[in-house]
Every structure is written in structure tokens, then in C-alpha cells.
Amino acid sequence: MLTWLTRFIERHRGLHRVSLAVWRFFPPRMAGFLKGIMARNWLVGAVAVMIDETRSPPDVLLVEHSYRARGSWGLPGGSLDSAPGDPTRPGSEPLPDDVIEDALRREVMEELGINIVVDCLLRTDAIPFVAEEPGPYRLDFFFRCAPDIGFPALREGIEAGRIKPNSPEITQMRLVPLTDLGDYDLFSTDKCFFQQHLPRLEPTLATHSY
């Protein structure tokens, strides 16, 4: 209801101008409280894109999620917890610049038991609806990463059973050729990334896209 009211006010210029003028007189604590109620809810996620380009065709690390009936296969990663601290009080401890990267490294270690090296941010996706998980708006950060032990050691460890999921959320992990992704029931946001964005972001991989 409050979200609808906010959008209604924003669509009417005069009403919007008056509401902004009134807003200036709200005490900061009350303004912050009301903004938290009226704003859309967002789920922030960090995603690891681990592609071994030494293989032909290149491999990408996929995981199977136990809690998804549809779109069970996808890229490893997870949602970010709220940053520590009280949002109603000034903080004394500054957050690290790479708080999202730290969260991604932590999620991958907790779920897969491997350390990763984060290379660069490939894409940020603002997603209003996910068919498999309707709910809050999603803001996903896709990072190009690599296992710190190297892809050959990762592949050998997976095949030998020494490297396997640490979390009940993950059923299995697998290095999959990019050309074989069509054989997997991919999570829709990851499927969109592979089909629409990765060929543009990494042109050398375009010929291997499925």
C-alpha cells in the first residue's frame, strides 16, 4: 500500500513537489524510518563467473541448488547479509571498499570449500522479477573469478571427490563446457547472463556461447 502511494505521488508533479517540501520538516530519524517502510525491498547478490579459457571449448563452474525445483543449476554465489552496525547511529568503523567481493569469497568458501581470486566486476543487473523466486527486487553483481589453486587442480579435485560442496544448499558442482549449457536447467538470471551479456562482455567467448 505504501509503495503504491509513493509511486502515485511521484507521478503527480505538483503533489510530488509539495510532499518533498513537507519531507524537509521531518526529523531525520522519522524520515529514515518512513523511507525504509515506503522503499522497495532489494535483495543484493554476488555471483562468481569462473571460466577456464585454457580448455576448448571453455568450461564454467556450475553448482546445483537443492532448494530450487526449477532453475536448479547456476553460478555459485549468494545474497549479502546486512552490513554490521546500527543504521540509526553514526558508525565508527568504516566498511572495506570491497565489501561485496568479501561477501562473495566468503559465500563460495562456505558452500564449496574453495578460495577464489576476484578479478573484476563484469556486470550489475537490476532484476524486478525472477520466475523461480518471486519476491524482492534483485541487484546482482557478476564478478569474473578464478580458483586460487588453479583450474587444473580444481578439476582434478572435483573428479576425484576431494573437492565437493560444503553446504546442504548445494547438491553438486561441475565444470561444464559453455557449449553444453543448454543441457542444464539454468537459473533464469544466469541463463540471461550467458546468452545476452557474456558474449558482449567477453567477445572471445562469443563463438562458444550456446
Question: pLDDT digits over 69-100, tens only?
Answer: 888 999 999 887 655 556 566 665 655 558 88
Q: Please, what is the angle between helix 28-38 and helix 2-11, to 10°? A: 100
pLDDT for res 33: 63
Q: Please, what is the angle between helix 2-11 and helix 13-23, to 10°? A: 120
Q: Give residue for cell 558452500.
A: 111
pLDDT for res 168: 87
pLDDT at 180 over 90: yes
pLDDT at 172 over 90: yes
pLDDT for res 37: 61
* Three cell numbers, residue 85: 552496525
- Is there a cis peptide before residue 57, judged by omega within 30 degrees of 0? yes
Q: Name the pTM for this structure.
A: 0.78
* Three cell numbers, residue 182: 543448454
For 28-94, the DSSP string reads HHHHHHHHHHHSPPEEEEEEEEEEETTSSSPEEEEEEETT-SSS-EE-SEEEPPPPSS-TTS--SSP
pLDDT for res 83: 54
Could you tell me where the beta strands, DSSP code E, fall in 148-200? 170-177
The DSSP call for residue 159 is H
What is the average per-residue pLDDT within 184-202?
92
Quote the mean pLDDT of the chain: 83
pLDDT at 144 over 80: yes
Containing H/E element for 122? strand 116-127
113 or 25, higher pLDDT: 113
pLDDT for res 48: 97
Domains of the chain: 2-38 (no CATH), 42-82+98-208 (3.90.79.10)
pLDDT at 154 over 90: yes
pLDDT for res 109: 94
pLDDT at 8 over 80: no
193 or 4, higher pLDDT: 193
pLDDT for res 31: 59
pLDDT in tens, 23-72: 667 676 665 666 556 556 778 889 999 999 999 999 999 999 988 888 89
Residues paired with residue 120 on neighbouring β-strands, in sequence order: 144
Q: Which residues of 115-133 are buried (b: 16+ CB within 10 A; e: fewer)?
A: ebebeeebbeeeeeebeeb
pLDDT at 16 over 90: no
What is the average per-residue pLDDT within 127-150?
86
